Amino acid sequence: MPLVTYSDILRAARAGGYAVGYFESWDSYSLEAVVEAAEEECSGVIIGFGCSMGNPVWFANGGLEELATLGRLAVKRMSVPVAFILNEAQTFDQIISGLAYGFNVVMLDSAHLPLAEHTYQTCQVVAAARAAGAHVEAELGHLPDASNSPLAHGVAAALTDPAEAAVFVAQTGVDALAASVGNMHLLENGEATIDLDLLRRIGDAVNVPLVIHGGSGFPARDVPAAIASGVAKFNVGTSLKRAFLNGVLAGARGLTSASNPHAALGSHLDGDLLLLGKEKMKEKVISLMRLYGSAGKAS
């Protein structure tokens, strides 16, 4: 199946009463975990890469192009609906590069800026994306970062205001809105406390699908209510990296300095540490696809 538009995949999710996942990848193994899970579960999916946790110098010196190439190849081989996102770009230059490299959804990490500047920059992103035939996700409100809560980007967390959300969506023309309703970035221990009433009011105020960032700490029990309020996409990253790392660490326990390095790294053979990480990550992705209700819907 060819690459589908971001809006189409989210529209199908809303119509079907489920959500799709953006399961963030960072290399070929993690990307394989997401692609294989989607194919096996017959689930639509958002694949892609994020810029917030990587080295900006590496991204600028060919890293972003390398990741985009991996993603484009994956898309060509997939049989389920898929969109390809550049998530949380840190600069407008990354947005422009991402569009040139074939991402068909982009998001600029600018919600921490004053509202007028955030709105202006988002309008610039939308204009660039439309010229490239791509779509745009933006965030309004500002998620806390669990690793240094309650500040992220040096800015205090802020919940999304429904009235501001309606104006922001109308002014910018974004295709989906990520909301801050108690969800948190990088949360590994415990669960976020979600304001479901606020989420419902945001969903009533805007005419675009809603997105939840910080999906790793989002309570499973709140997923159905979130979907009913207009959430069509969950972003997950931290729990996937943790699952991957746990797989690598478990496999490494039996290794010594005498172990065969060729089999242990990059072989895709049994015992490949990266393959063990991939399998653990894939299990997590499958469990989330089933939680979000997207499994089996691609048919």
CA distance 47 to 54: 17
Look up tokens 């063990």; give the residue: 276
* pLDDT, tens digit, 9 for 90 and up, residues 106-156: 999 999 999 999 999 999 999 999 999 999 999 999 998 887 544 456 567
Q: What is the pTM for the complete model shown?
A: 0.94
The pLDDT-based confidence of 189 (bands split at 50, 70, 90) is confident
Helices 238-252 and 273-292 cross at an angle (nearest 10°) of: 150
Would you say residue 83 lies in a domain? yes
Number of domains the chain is built from: 1
Would you say residue 298 lies in a domain? no
Backbone φ and ψ of 106, nearest 5°: -135, 155
Would you say residue 273 lies in a domain? yes
CATH classification of the domain holding 193: 3.20.20.70
For the beta carbon of residue 228, count every other beta carbon within 10 angstroms: 13
DSSP 161-204: PHHHHHHHHHHH--SEEEE-SS--BT--SS-----HHHHHHHHH
Would you say residue 172 lies in a domain? yes
pLDDT of residue 172: 98
Stretch among 38-52, 91-105, 257-271 having the lowest mean pLDDT: 257-271
CA distance 223 to 291: 8
CA distance 241 to 50: 13
* pLDDT, tens digit, 9 for 90 and up, residues 225-278: 999 999 999 999 999 999 999 999 999 998 888 888 988 999 999 999 999 999
Would you say residue 1 lies in a domain? no
Indicate whether 202 pLDDT > 80: yes
What percentage of the chain's residues is helix, strand, coil (to nearest 5)? 50, 15, 35
Q: Where are the beta strands (DSSP E) in the chain?
A: 20-23, 45-50, 82-89, 105-108, 135-140, 151-152, 155-156, 176-179, 210-212, 231-236
Contact 292, 234 (CB under 8 A): yes
CA-nearest of 100, 154, 149 to 128 is 100
The whole-chain average pLDDT of the chain stands at: 94
The whole domain housing 238 covers: 6-292
Would you say residue 119 lies in a domain? yes
Would you say residue 13 lies in a domain? yes
62 secondary structure, DSSP code: I
Q: What single-letter amino acid sits at 68? A: A
Would you say residue 299 lies in a domain? no
